[in-house]
Structure 1
Amino acid sequence: MLESADTLALKALGWLAGQDDLLAIFMGATGASGQDLRARADDPEFLASVLDFLLMDDAWVLAFCQAHGLPGEALMRARAALPGGADPHWT
Protein backbone atom coordinates (compact mmCIF):
# COMPACT_ATOMS: atom_id res chain seq x y z
CA MET A 1 0.00 0.00 0.00
CA LEU A 2 1.38 3.39 -0.96
CA GLU A 3 1.66 6.09 1.64
CA SER A 4 -0.11 9.36 1.15
CA ALA A 5 2.01 12.24 -0.08
CA ASP A 6 1.61 14.23 3.12
CA THR A 7 2.60 11.25 5.27
CA LEU A 8 5.71 10.69 3.19
CA ALA A 9 6.53 14.39 3.30
CA LEU A 10 6.13 14.37 7.08
CA LYS A 11 8.57 11.47 7.26
CA ALA A 12 10.94 13.49 5.09
CA LEU A 13 10.65 16.40 7.53
CA GLY A 14 11.44 14.06 10.42
CA TRP A 15 14.42 12.65 8.57
CA LEU A 16 15.63 16.15 7.70
CA ALA A 17 15.32 17.19 11.35
CA GLY A 18 17.72 14.38 12.22
CA GLN A 19 20.36 15.55 9.73
CA ASP A 20 21.96 18.47 11.59
CA ASP A 21 24.10 19.82 8.77
CA LEU A 22 21.38 19.45 6.15
CA LEU A 23 18.74 20.90 8.47
CA ALA A 24 20.87 24.00 8.94
CA ILE A 25 21.08 24.41 5.16
CA PHE A 26 17.31 23.99 4.83
CA MET A 27 16.60 26.50 7.56
CA GLY A 28 19.05 28.98 6.08
CA ALA A 29 17.65 28.59 2.57
CA THR A 30 14.01 28.84 3.59
CA GLY A 31 14.20 31.12 6.61
CA ALA A 32 12.27 28.52 8.61
CA SER A 33 12.83 28.38 12.36
CA GLY A 34 12.65 25.42 14.70
CA GLN A 35 9.24 26.71 15.75
CA ASP A 36 8.14 26.73 12.09
CA LEU A 37 9.17 23.08 11.74
CA ARG A 38 6.85 22.13 14.59
CA ALA A 39 4.00 24.54 13.86
CA ARG A 40 3.79 23.87 10.14
CA ALA A 41 4.36 20.10 10.13
CA ASP A 42 0.74 19.60 9.04
CA ASP A 43 0.80 22.33 6.37
CA PRO A 44 0.84 20.74 2.89
CA GLU A 45 2.58 23.79 1.39
CA PHE A 46 5.36 23.67 3.99
CA LEU A 47 5.75 19.92 3.48
CA ALA A 48 5.98 20.57 -0.25
CA SER A 49 8.87 22.96 0.45
CA VAL A 50 10.64 20.20 2.38
CA LEU A 51 10.34 17.89 -0.62
CA ASP A 52 11.39 20.67 -3.01
CA PHE A 53 14.52 21.14 -0.92
CA LEU A 54 15.41 17.45 -0.76
CA LEU A 55 14.76 17.01 -4.47
CA MET A 56 17.53 19.53 -5.22
CA ASP A 57 20.19 16.87 -4.63
CA ASP A 58 20.08 13.24 -5.74
CA ALA A 59 22.27 12.23 -2.79
CA TRP A 60 19.70 13.62 -0.34
CA VAL A 61 16.88 11.83 -2.14
CA LEU A 62 18.73 8.53 -2.13
CA ALA A 63 19.77 8.86 1.52
CA PHE A 64 16.17 9.46 2.59
CA CYS A 65 14.77 6.71 0.41
CA GLN A 66 17.38 4.19 1.56
CA ALA A 67 16.72 5.07 5.19
CA HIS A 68 13.01 4.33 4.69
CA GLY A 69 13.23 1.44 2.22
CA LEU A 70 11.58 3.43 -0.55
CA PRO A 71 12.24 3.54 -4.29
CA GLY A 72 14.21 6.55 -5.49
CA GLU A 73 11.21 8.12 -7.21
CA ALA A 74 9.02 8.13 -4.07
CA LEU A 75 9.79 11.75 -3.16
CA MET A 76 9.11 12.99 -6.68
CA ARG A 77 5.76 11.23 -6.75
CA ALA A 78 4.81 12.63 -3.35
CA ARG A 79 5.85 16.12 -4.45
CA ALA A 80 3.63 15.90 -7.52
CA ALA A 81 0.63 15.20 -5.28
CA LEU A 82 1.19 18.17 -2.95
CA PRO A 83 0.23 21.81 -3.65
CA GLY A 84 2.13 23.19 -6.65
CA GLY A 85 3.40 19.77 -7.66
CA ALA A 86 1.52 19.77 -10.93
CA ASP A 87 2.74 23.24 -11.91
CA PRO A 88 5.14 23.34 -14.84
CA HIS A 89 8.81 23.89 -14.02
CA TRP A 90 10.48 26.38 -16.33
CA THR A 91 14.07 25.74 -15.27
Structure 2
Amino acid sequence: MTNKQEFAETVGLQCLAWLVSNEDLLPVFMGATGVSKADIKERAQDPDFLASVLDFLMMDDAWVVAFCDANGLSNETPMRARAALPGGMQVEWT
Protein backbone atom coordinates (compact mmCIF):
# COMPACT_ATOMS: atom_id res chain seq x y z
CA MET A 1 0.00 0.00 0.00
CA THR A 2 1.31 3.42 -0.90
CA ASN A 3 1.60 6.36 1.47
CA LYS A 4 -1.04 8.14 -0.61
CA GLN A 5 -3.53 5.34 -0.12
CA GLU A 6 -2.74 5.08 3.59
CA PHE A 7 -3.32 8.82 3.92
CA ALA A 8 -6.55 8.54 1.93
CA GLU A 9 -7.83 5.69 4.09
CA THR A 10 -6.99 7.67 7.23
CA VAL A 11 -8.97 10.65 5.93
CA GLY A 12 -11.82 8.30 5.00
CA LEU A 13 -11.84 6.88 8.53
CA GLN A 14 -11.80 10.38 10.01
CA CYS A 15 -14.74 11.26 7.80
CA LEU A 16 -16.61 8.12 8.81
CA ALA A 17 -16.02 8.89 12.50
CA TRP A 18 -17.25 12.45 11.94
CA LEU A 19 -20.38 11.17 10.19
CA VAL A 20 -21.12 8.61 12.91
CA SER A 21 -20.86 11.32 15.56
CA ASN A 22 -23.20 13.65 13.64
CA GLU A 23 -26.77 12.91 14.78
CA ASP A 24 -28.31 14.89 11.94
CA LEU A 25 -26.16 13.69 9.06
CA LEU A 26 -25.71 10.00 9.92
CA PRO A 27 -29.33 9.10 9.07
CA VAL A 28 -28.98 10.96 5.77
CA PHE A 29 -25.83 8.97 4.97
CA MET A 30 -27.45 5.69 5.93
CA GLY A 31 -30.56 6.48 3.89
CA ALA A 32 -28.59 7.59 0.85
CA THR A 33 -26.27 4.60 0.85
CA GLY A 34 -28.53 1.92 2.30
CA VAL A 35 -25.98 0.88 4.93
CA SER A 36 -26.85 -0.18 8.44
CA LYS A 37 -24.86 0.49 11.59
CA ALA A 38 -23.61 -3.10 11.38
CA ASP A 39 -22.45 -2.48 7.79
CA ILE A 40 -20.57 0.62 8.90
CA LYS A 41 -18.69 -1.33 11.59
CA GLU A 42 -18.01 -4.24 9.26
CA ARG A 43 -16.80 -2.19 6.30
CA ALA A 44 -14.89 0.59 8.09
CA GLN A 45 -11.54 -0.76 6.84
CA ASP A 46 -12.73 -1.32 3.24
CA PRO A 47 -11.17 1.23 0.83
CA ASP A 48 -14.20 1.01 -1.48
CA PHE A 49 -16.52 1.85 1.41
CA LEU A 50 -14.29 4.71 2.56
CA ALA A 51 -14.41 6.03 -1.01
CA SER A 52 -18.22 6.05 -0.82
CA VAL A 53 -18.04 7.90 2.52
CA LEU A 54 -15.93 10.62 0.90
CA ASP A 55 -18.22 10.70 -2.15
CA PHE A 56 -21.16 11.33 0.17
CA LEU A 57 -19.33 14.05 2.07
CA MET A 58 -18.40 15.87 -1.13
CA MET A 59 -22.05 16.15 -2.17
CA ASP A 60 -22.34 19.31 -0.06
CA ASP A 61 -19.71 22.01 0.37
CA ALA A 62 -21.01 22.83 3.85
CA TRP A 63 -20.37 19.22 4.93
CA VAL A 64 -16.84 19.37 3.53
CA VAL A 65 -16.10 22.60 5.39
CA ALA A 66 -17.60 21.31 8.65
CA PHE A 67 -15.64 18.04 8.45
CA CYS A 68 -12.38 19.76 7.57
CA ASP A 69 -12.81 22.39 10.28
CA ALA A 70 -13.52 19.70 12.87
CA ASN A 71 -10.40 17.77 11.87
CA GLY A 72 -7.98 20.61 11.16
CA LEU A 73 -7.73 19.74 7.45
CA SER A 74 -7.70 21.90 4.36
CA ASN A 75 -10.94 21.90 2.38
CA GLU A 76 -9.18 20.15 -0.52
CA THR A 77 -8.14 17.17 1.58
CA PRO A 78 -11.28 15.05 1.02
CA MET A 79 -10.97 15.46 -2.75
CA ARG A 80 -7.28 14.50 -2.71
CA ALA A 81 -8.03 11.51 -0.48
CA ARG A 82 -10.88 10.40 -2.72
CA ALA A 83 -8.61 10.50 -5.76
CA ALA A 84 -6.23 8.04 -4.06
CA LEU A 85 -8.94 5.47 -3.28
CA PRO A 86 -10.47 2.94 -5.69
CA GLY A 87 -12.42 4.60 -8.50
CA GLY A 88 -11.00 8.02 -7.72
CA MET A 89 -9.14 8.64 -10.93
CA GLN A 90 -10.56 11.49 -12.97
CA VAL A 91 -12.08 10.41 -16.24
CA GLU A 92 -10.90 12.17 -19.37
CA TRP A 93 -13.69 12.42 -21.91
CA THR A 94 -11.48 13.09 -24.93
TM-score (norm 1): 0.92
Q: 1:30 to 1:89 in 2, by over 3 A?
A: farther
Gaps of 5+ in 2: none
Does 2:91 correspond to 1:82? no
Greater Rg over alpha carbons, structure: 2
- Which residue number corresponds to residue 67 of structure 1? 70
CA distance in 1, matches of 2:41, 2:92: 29
- Which residue number corresponds to residue 9 of structure 1? 12
CA distance in 2, matches of 1:52, 1:89: 19
Task: Tell me the matched-pair count.
Answer: 89
Displacement of 1:88: 2.1
Q: In the TM superposition, what whole-angstrom CA distance separates every residue of 1:21-41 from its partner, at most 9, and x where no partner exists?
A: 111001001000000110000
Percent identity between the aligned chains? 62
- Mapping of residues 38-77 of structure 1, within 5 Å: 38-77=41-80
Displacement of 1:20: 1.2
Gaps of 5+ in 1: none
Displacement of 1:87: 4.3
The RMSD of aligned alpha carbons is: 1.7
Q: 1:84 to 1:23 in 2, by over 3 A?
A: same
Q: Which runs of 4+ in 1 moved over 6 A?
A: none
CA distance in 1, matches of 2:22, 2:87: 26
